[in-house]
């Protein structure tokens, strides 16, 4: 089960923010943790930790659940509703900005995976959000600083801050488990894939995210539930483009499969040729039937008699 528990980092940069998060985690760690979803049972004085099996159960239990209607603040402080992301698939990750190891590494790996997905699907096909769950420390300013520090630059990726009262309901809805510890947070690692209707489609868990792990559910959602393009030809081109990409394990990126493209193009040409043949044959037989049809003639005129 992928989860993390960060050790204190003693670098001077960002020390104040780290101490604030650690003090909050320490205060929470001194209290009983059994009430926190995903927390392992412990004895008084024992360091809290994540119950791996329970965290996995909660994450899978969230599949099929509709994302709650909530307003969060983006990096500029503007209110953003989760329903604003409906209409396209959405990738959701939970982070805390006081983390110096796991969260930055996972966010960078997600960034590289998203860049690979852009080449397969197009960057306008899906959205990404990172949500800071350690409130009030994961403020819009802290999330903006986190994104800039780790060079996350993507026009469809937003960093959001809920209010502290929103965090329990929000994390429970997504099946995200975390436990405050004296060293930070022990939390589930992964990305939640949400469909265009705002329903949780699957959970991609792991501390090593790859483009293919996210590409499989995204491809499925786009092929089955994507909104119709302006015309049928555009829809056909988009489906062929998505179908003609494969994951290259050596480069860790998606690329176009030229063999598959040739097969699809050859198949389309074959069906077009067969269709054109039948169309021409139908027109030929129709003209032949017209030429063989007997000409219509008037009956001979009857000459009248005179008295």
| Span 275-305, pLDDT tens digits | 888 888 787 777 777 777 665 555 565 555 5
Q: Give tens-digit pLDDT for 192-214.
A: 999 999 999 999 998 777 788 88
Domain contains 271: no
The answer, yes or no, to whether residue 86 has pLDDT greater than 50, is yes
197 domain residue, yes or no: yes
* Spatial distance between the Cα atoms of 284 and 195, rounded to a whole number of angstroms: 51
- Tell how many helices (H) and how many strands (E) occur in the chain: 8, 12
pLDDT value at residue 19? 40
pLDDT above 70: percentage of residues in the chain: 65
- For 49-58, what is the mean pLDDT? 89
Q: 236-270, pLDDT tens digit by residue?
A: 555 565 656 666 665 555 665 556 556 666 777 77
Q: The sheet that has 184-188: what strands, in order across it?
A: 3-5, 184-188, 178-181
Alpha-helix runs per DSSP H in 123-245: 140-149, 166-174, 211-225, 232-243
Q: Provide the number of structural domains found in the chain.
A: 1
239 within domain boundaries:
no
- 89 touches 126 (CB < 8 A): yes
CA–CA distance, 239 with 217 (Å, rounded to integer): 15
Q: Give a yes or no: residue 274 inside a domain.
A: no
Compute how many other C-beta atoms are within 10 angstroms of the C-beta atom of residue 247: 17
- Of residues 260 and 224, more confidence is placed in 224
Per-residue pLDDT band for 14 (boundaries 50, 70, 90) equals very low
Residue 38 lies in a domain: yes
The CATH number for 81's domain is: 3.40.30.10
For residue 31, name the pLDDT band (cuts at 50, 70, 90).
Answer: very low
Residue 166's domain comprises: 3-226
Is the predicted pLDDT of residue 81 greater than 90, yes or no? yes
Mean pLDDT, the chain, as a whole number? 77
State yes or no: pLDDT of 17 exceeds 70. Answer: no
Q: Please tell me whether residue 303 adopts helix, strand or coil conformation.
A: coil
Q: How do residues 129-178 score in pLDDT, each as one tens digit?
A: 999 999 999 999 999 999 999 999 898 999 999 999 999 999 999 999 99
**What's the average model confidence in pLDDT over 30-36?**
43
pLDDT value of position 254: 61
In a domain, residue 98? The reply is yes
Tokens of residue 9, six digits? 């980092």
Instruction: Give the pair of three-digit tokens for residue 97.
Output: 């900005």
Q: Could you tell me the end-to-end alpha-carbon distance of the chain, in angstroms, rounded to an integer? A: 118
* Lowest mean per-residue pLDDT among 71-80, 154-163, 180-189, 257-266: 257-266
Q: Is residue 301 part of a domain?
A: no
Q: Is residue 73 part of a domain?
A: yes
Helix (H, G, I), strand (E, B) or coil at 45: coil
What gap in Å lies between CA 154 and CA 224, rounded to an integer? 25
Angle of helix 232-243 relative to helix 211-225, nearest 10 degrees, comes to 160
What confidence tier does 101 reach under pLDDT thresholds 50, 70, 90? Answer: confident
């Amino acid at each position: 089960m992928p989860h993390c528990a960060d050790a204190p980092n003693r670098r001077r940069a960002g020390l104040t923010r780290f101490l604030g998060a650690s003090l909050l985690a320490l205060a929470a760690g001194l209290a009983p943790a059994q009430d926190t979803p995903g927390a392992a049972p412990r004895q008084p004085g024992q360091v809290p930790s994540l119950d791996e099996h329970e965290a996995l159960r909660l994450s899978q239990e969230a599949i099929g659940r509709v994302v709650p209607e909530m307003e969060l603040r983006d990096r500029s402080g503007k209110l953003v509703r989760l329903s604003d992301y409906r209409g396209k698939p959405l990738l959701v990750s939970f982070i805390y900005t006081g983390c110096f190891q796991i969260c930055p590494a996972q966010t960078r790996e997600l960034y590289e995976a998203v860049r690979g997905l852009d080449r397969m699907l197009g960057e306008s096909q899906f959205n990404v959000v990172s949500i800071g769950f350690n409130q009030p420390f994961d403020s819009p300013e802290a999330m903006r600083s986190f994104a800039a520090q780790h060079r996350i630059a993507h026009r469809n990726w937003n960093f959001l801050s809920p209010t502290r009262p929103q965090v329990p309901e929000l994390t429970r809805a997504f099946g995200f488990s975390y436990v405050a510890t004296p060293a930070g947070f022990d939390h589930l690692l992964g990305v939640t894939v949400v469909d265009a209707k705002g329903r949780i489609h699957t959970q991609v868990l792991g501390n090593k995210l790859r483009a293919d792990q996210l590409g499989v559910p995204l491809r499925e959602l786009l092929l089955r539930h994507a909104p119709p393009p302006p015309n049928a030809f555009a829809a056909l081109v988009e489906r062929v483009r998505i179908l003609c990409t494969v994951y290259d394990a050596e480069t860790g990126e998606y690329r176009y499969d030229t063999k598959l493209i040739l097969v699809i193009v050859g198949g389309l040409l074959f069906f077009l040729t067969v269709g054109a043949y039948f169309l021409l044959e139908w027109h030929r037989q129709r003209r032949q039937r017209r030429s063989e049809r007997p000409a219509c003639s008037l009956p001979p005129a009857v000459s009248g008699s005179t008295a």
